[in-house]
Structure formats: structure tokens, C-alpha cells
């Protein structure tokens, strides 16, 4: 039978809304899906992510077949080296008139695809990914001529464009665009987060778990805890559970840090959005309708929608605007190697060990853990930007470079010199203490700055401020911090930076 188009579907494009399927014709076209060595090995992926993506791919292939598509599926067992190999092999076997694919999310693959056009014997077409709410062109247009690319203004435009949380006059519901101030409560243990609903693995997922456990023994991740949804139906059920049970407290505890609580009131939907099981606009509309039905406060709904309509689209825009150079940026010259305990969580710093351990074993940490615990430590200690970005790209179940890189390199490490954040997200132990209860369980004292029992974040914070004081002196948002530092007596400053040096040299010796 002749094939008109060979339609390549990537592991993070598992949606019937995928343009390559939307434009397709099940009668004449063939879908190709491939589990290839290169994609599973380009970074040390968490086993949760491997199982999630591979199982979701296998489930999606079945759904496609049920919907009448012919699917050629190359699985891990065939040890196919790369997507290009899979494609060449299939083109030879099936002789399609043309090959097409929706543009990939990561630059590395996009670049490789540019060569495919020349190397394949048939035409190769890339389609725009319409599953995002701002196209590359939209973002470029928004960014053009602006001195500063502030997320807040982008977000307001997006709210208006999609009519989300607007009142009858087209203004923001409640009279304000942003309820961030209401969403910064610390954790005092007054509420009990509901247990993780999750999804029990079915037979297909259990088979993938066994395979991944065998083949990827060198990767992090405790698969006895695997409870991610791998189908649209189950991901939608998790969205519903979130709206019913956690959304109402989501905003209040968005920035909280709770000892022994890996999930708190967060949605855990990022991975589903990123691989195509959920659509961003549908998720935002569902949350808006929960607010309109009186199921949550405006601050919770707004806070949540801002993350998806605002941050998620904005970081993608930044990534494609700035790549490939973005990846090389290292404005603060951070080159210190990652301490080995980043791969075990074995440190006495309680906040950090919990965040690292759950990242490694569950493939998940919530935003404040990623930004203000792990990222903040990496920033203060001047850990290598490249190594930290690679670590983040590996450990999280939702990690794809278009979203991971701007968040890590830009937001957490300030390595883009403030393109994304007008001041570094640097904080001492006081912040962690204010936001939760880790410090009560820690061997370090968050009130002390120097000496063996002092919280390491404190001296490292001031050491960071001191070593970059020249650079930060031109930043109005850093004025107060610098003035506070300068106000300390010289002997105290000296004692703090000396202790910071001791901590940094210990890190290097580990
Ligand atoms: C250093 C660092 C690295 C990160 N790496 C990733 C990554 O690889 N993949 C990823 O999807 N997110 C990443 N984030 C953003 C954010 O931390 C995660 O999306 C969020 O923690 C996922 O958990 P959740 O679904 O429970 O989110 P919730 O707290 O419930 O938030 C709701 C949704 O908003 C979106 N969202 C929230 N914040 C952001 C953000 N800053 N950028 C983009 N989307 C956002 C996500 O889709 C998320 O599901 C990173 C953040 C930081 C600081
Ligand atoms: S004392 Fe410092 S290291 Fe310990 S939990 Fe608090 S902030 Fe973290």
C-alpha cells in the first residue's frame, strides 16, 4: 500500500491536537513513533520521566490505532540509535511521498532536523506547534523594541487575548491583574494536604517500569513510587482531583516549604502539559470555571493561571528568542563543580536534603524548592551553570529544555544577567525559615551566620553579595541589600566572608 505522508510523532507531542495529526489523513498516512537510544540518553533522565514518556507513547500509539491510524512503533528493544535512523529506515521501507513532524520543543533536535531536510531522499516538512498559546512570532512581536522583557506585561496581554479572568469591561476580575502578595504564606502546619491521588500503573506501564529498571539502573528514580498518569483520560482525572481537593489552598501555600510534604497543594500537572496529555488553555479555563463556581478564591485561580498562561508561555518565548546563545551564558562566572551529594541528597542541610531526595526519588520538587532551596544554594555557592542545568534537565519528570533552561539558567542562577529576573533570587536561611518548618528539624541554626552550627545559607548569601557587589551596584533593586551589607562593621563582614570561604572550600573538597 502506498503511503502519502509519513507523520513523525515525538514523545512530548502525544495529543490529537498535534498539528501533524490534525493535518493528516489516517487512510493514506502512516504515523511513526520511536523509542530511540539518543533520546533516552542525551542526559541522565530520571526513571520516572522515562517511564512516563515511554508508557504514555505506547498508550497513545494504541489510541491512535483505535482511532483508525496506522502506526509504526519502534520500541526500546530494537536499540534504534536515533530518530534520524528510525526515519531513514522507515522511509526506505515504506517509500512515502513526504515526511512531516511538528516542530520539536528542544533546540538540539530542531538543529538536527535542519540537516534531515538535506539528508532525506523525500521532502521533510516541519509544522508550527499550535499547542502553545503564544507562537514564536507572537513572542518576538511582543518583545520587539522593549528594554525589559517583564513577564507581568506579557501575562496581562495574554489574559486579554484569551479572555481569562476578565470582568465585563475587559479589565481584570477583582480589579487587579496579580494576586502574588496574597500567595506567599509560610507553612505553619494548619492545613493537611490531601494524600497524592495519583494513578495506579496498568499492565502496560508495569511492563515499561520493569524495562526501565533493567536498562536504566544508572539513573535516579524510585519506581516503586510511580503514580503518574500516562493517558489523557487519567491526566484529566488528576486535573479534576486538583480542582476539587487542592486548588482552594494552592494560592495560599504556593510559596510554602513543608517538612516531609513533597507535594503540598501543588497541581503536579506540568509533565502532562509538557508531553501533550493536557492542553494549557483547557486547564486554565477549567480553573477559571472553578473560581466562577465559587470553589476557590480569586487569588488561587489567578495565581495558578498566571503560572501557565504567563510563566510557561513566557519561558518558552525567551528560550526560542535567545537560543542557541542562551545556553552558553554564565554572567556570574559560576564554575564550581556540583558536590556529589546532589546525586544522593546526603547533606545535613535539611531543606536541601529533602528537596534533593524527593527530586531524585520522585522526579518532582515544587517551584519554591527548585528556586529558593536548590537553585538558591547553587546560585550562592557559584556552582557551574552548565552542570546545574544538566542536573535539572535530568532529574525532573517535567524537564524539557525549552522550559528547564530559562527557569534554571535565567531565573534561578541569574546567568543571563537579568534578562528574565530583574534581581537575583538570592536569599539567606531566613527566607527558608519564614516559609516553612524545615529549620526546626535541622542541625543548623538559621539565626547564626558563622561557625560550625550556623546555617550555611547565611554566610554563603553574604559571600555572594560581597563577591558580586560591583556588578550589583548598578541595579536599583539591589541597593538596599548592598547598603545593609556595607553597614555591617568591617570585622563582621570579614568574619562572614572568611566563613563563606571555608564553606566553599569544603564543598570543593567533597
Ligand atoms: C530552577 C527551575 C527549574 C524548573 N524546571 C522546570 C521544568 O523542567 N519543567 C517544567 O515544566 N517546569 C519547570 N520549572 C517550573 C516549575 O517549578 C514547575 O513547572 C512546577 O514546579 C511543576 O509542578 P506543578 O505541576 O505541581 O506546578 P504548580 O505549582 O501546580 O503550577 C501549575 C503549573 O504552572 C506551570 N508553571 C509554574 N511555574 C512555571 C515556570 N516557572 N515555568 C513554566 N511553567 C510553570 C506548570 O505547568 C505547572 O504545572 C522550573 C522552575 C525552576 C525554578
Ligand atoms: S537552618 Fe539553614 S540549612 Fe537548615 S533547614 Fe534552615 S535554611 Fe535549611
- Burial tier of 396 (Cβ tally within 10 Å: 0-12, 13-18, 19+): buried
Can you give the pLDDT at residue 425?
Answer: 97
| Angular region, 425: left φ>0, alpha ψ -120 to 50, beta rest | beta
Per-residue pLDDT tens over the stretch 15-53: 999 999 999 999 999 999 999 999 999 999 999 999 999
pLDDT band at residue 189 using 50, 70 and 90 as cut-offs: confident
Range 370-395 burial, b when 16+ CB lie within 10 A, else e:
bbbbbbbbbbbbbbbbbbbbbbbbbb
Cell output for 467: 563577591
CA dist., res. 370 & res. 364, Å (int): 9
Atom 6 (ligand 2) nearest CA: 439
* 123: number of Cβ within 10 Å: 12
Q: Is 329 in the pocket of ligand 2 (CB under 6 A)?
A: no
| Ligand with an atom nearest the CA of residue 363 | 1
Q: Is 431 in the pocket of ligand 2 (CB under 6 A)?
A: no
How far apart, in Å, are the Cα atoms of 263 and each of 234, 361, 429?
Answer: 18, 13, 22
Q: Is 442 in the pocket of ligand 2 (CB under 6 A)?
A: yes
Mean pLDDT in the chain?
Answer: 96
Average pLDDT over residues 426-435: 97
Average pLDDT over residues 488-495: 98
Q: Is 393 in the pocket of ligand 2 (CB under 6 A)?
A: no
Atom 7 (ligand 2) nearest CA: 429
Average pLDDT over residues 145-169: 95
Atom 2 (ligand 2) nearest CA: 455
Backbone angles phi, psi at 377, to 5 degrees: -60, -45
Q: Coil, helix or strand for 401?
A: helix
Kindly list the structural domains of the chain, giving each domain's residue range(s) and its CATH number in brackets, ordered by start.
5-127 (3.40.50.620), 136-193+246-322 (1.25.40.80), 340-509 (1.10.579.10)
> DSSP strand E in 58-130: where?
70-74, 98-102, 124-127
Backbone angles phi, psi at 90, to 5 degrees: -70, -35
Q: How far is the CA of 367 from the centre of ligand 1 (A)?
A: 6
Can you give the pLDDT at residue 197?
Answer: 81
Q: What's 187's DSSP letter?
A: P
Cell output for 459: 554566610
Can you give the pLDDT at residue 196?
Answer: 86
| pTM recorded for the entire structure | 0.97
Atom 3 (ligand 2) nearest CA: 349
Q: What's 339's DSSP letter?
A: P
Amino acid at each position: 500500500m502506498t503511503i502519502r505522508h509519513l507523520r513523525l510523532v515525538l514523545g512530548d507531542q502525544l495529543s490529537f491536537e498535534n498539528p501533524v495529526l490534525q493535518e493528516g489523513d489516517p487512510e493514506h498516512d502512516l504515523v511513526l513513533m520511536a523509542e530511540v537510544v539518543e533520546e533516552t540518553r542525551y542526559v541522565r533522565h530520571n526513571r520516572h520521566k522515562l517511564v512516563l514518556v515511554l508508557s504514555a507513547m505506547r498508550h497513545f500509539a494504541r489510541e491512535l490505532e483505535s482511532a483508525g491510524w496506522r502506526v509504526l512503533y519502534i520500541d526500546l528493544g530494537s536499540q534504534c540509535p536515533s530518530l534520524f535512523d528510525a526515519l531513514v529506515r522507515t522511509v526506505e521501507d515504506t517509500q512515502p511521498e513526504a515526511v512531516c513532524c511538528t516542530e520539536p520543543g528542544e533546540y538540539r533536535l530542531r538543529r538536527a532536523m535542519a540537516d534531515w531536510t538535506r539528508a532525506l531522499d523525500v521532502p521533510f516538512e516541519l509544522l508550527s506547534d499550535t499547542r502553545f498559546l503564544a507562537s514564536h512570532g507572537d513572542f518576538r512581536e511582543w518583545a520587539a523594541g522593549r528594554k525589559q522583557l517583564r513577564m507581568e506585561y506579557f501575562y496581562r496581554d495574554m489574559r486579554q487575548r484569551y479572555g481569562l479572568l476578565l470582568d465585563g469591561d475587559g479589565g481584570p476580575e477583582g480589579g487587579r491583574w496579580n494576586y502574588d502578595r496574597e500567595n506567599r504564606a509560610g507553612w505553619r502546619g494548619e492545613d493537611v494536604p490531601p494524600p497524592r491521588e495519583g494513578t495506579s500503573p496498568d499492565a502496560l506501564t508495569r511492563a515499561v517500569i520493569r524495562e526501565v529498571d533493567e536498562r536504566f539502573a544508572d539513573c535516579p528514580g524510585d519506581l516503586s513510587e510511580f503514580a503518574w498518569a500516562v493517558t489523557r483520560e487519567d491526566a484529566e482525572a488528576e486535573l479534576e482531583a486538583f480542582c476539587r481537593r487542592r486548588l482552594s489552598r494552592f494560592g495560599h501555600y504556593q510559596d510554602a516549604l513543608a517538612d516531609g510534604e513533597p507535594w503540598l497543594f501543588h497541581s503536579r500537572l506540568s509533565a502532562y502539559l509538557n508531553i501533550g496529555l493536557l492542553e494549557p488553555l483547557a486547564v486554565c479555563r477549567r480553573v477559571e470555571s472553578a473560581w466562577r463556581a465559587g470553589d476557590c478564591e480569586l487569588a488561587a485561580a489567578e495565581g495558578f493561571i498566571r503560572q501557565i498562561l504567563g510563566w510557561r508561555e513566557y519561558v518558552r518565548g525567551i528560550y526560542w528568542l535567545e537560543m542557541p546563545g542562551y545556553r552558553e551564558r554564565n554572567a556570574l562566572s559560576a564554575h564550581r563543580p556540583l558536590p556529589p551529594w546532589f546525586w544522593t541528597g546526603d547533606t545535613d542541610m535539611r531543606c536541601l536534603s529533602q528537596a534533593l531526595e524527593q527530586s531524585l526519588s520522585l522526579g518532582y520538587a515544587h517551584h519554591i524548592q527548585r528556586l529558593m532551596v536548590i537553585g538558591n544554594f547553587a546560585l550562592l555557592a557559584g556552582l557551574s551553570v552548565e552542570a546545574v542545568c544538566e542536573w535539572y534537565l535530568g532529574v525532573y519528570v517535567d524537564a524539557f529544555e525549552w522550559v528547564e533552561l530559562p527557569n534554571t539558567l535565567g531565573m534561578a542562577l541569574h546567568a543571563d544577567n537579568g534578562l528574565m529576573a530583574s534581581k537575583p533570587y538570592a536569599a539567606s536561611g531566613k527566607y527558608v525559615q519564614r516559609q516553612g518548618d524545615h529549620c526546626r528539624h535541622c542541625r543548623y541554626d538559621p539565626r547564626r551566620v558563622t561557625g560550625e552550627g550556623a546555617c550555611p545559607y547565611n554566610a554563603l548569601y553574604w559571600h555572594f553579595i560581597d563577591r558580586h557587589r560591583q556588578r550589583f551596584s548598578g541595579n536599583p533593586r539591589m541597593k538596599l541589600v548592598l547598603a545593609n551589607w556595607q553597614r555591617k562593621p568591617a570585622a563582621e563582614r570579614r568574619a562572614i566572608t572568611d566563613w563563606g570561604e571555608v564553606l566553599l572550600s569544603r564543598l570543593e573538597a567533597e
